[in-house]
Amino acid sequence: MELIIDFDKIKDPSKREWLISSLKLMQIGFHTSEKSQTITEYNKDLEKGDNEIDRGEFTTASDLKKEADKW
């Protein structure tokens, strides 16, 4: 049986990395053929990140340490 997953359709990088890590952990073989990000896509990602920061949607290192202590 062969499972075909189009990694390029998974827009959230953390979900893509989670899937790849899970497949490796379960020792499921897979091939990727991700295409390179264009300059336009790269700039949109940077702009999106800047907008998130402007809206206050970020975690400081000290807040992250406090949260990690609860784990």
Least confident stretch, 34-38, 56-60, 61-65: 34-38
Position of tokens 């991700």?
34
CA distance 53 to 71: 25
27-53 confidence digits (pLDDT tens): 887 776 667 778 998 899 899 999 999
Question: Quick one: pLDDT at residue 46?
Answer: 92
CA distance 52 to 57: 5
Question: Quick one: pLDDT at residue 2?
Answer: 63
Which one has a higher pLDDT value, 38 or 5? 38
CA atoms within 13 A on the CB side of 69: 6
Q: Which residues contact 8 (CB under 8 A, 6 or more apart)?
A: 34, 35
Q: What are phi and psi of 27, to 5 degrees?
A: 55, 45
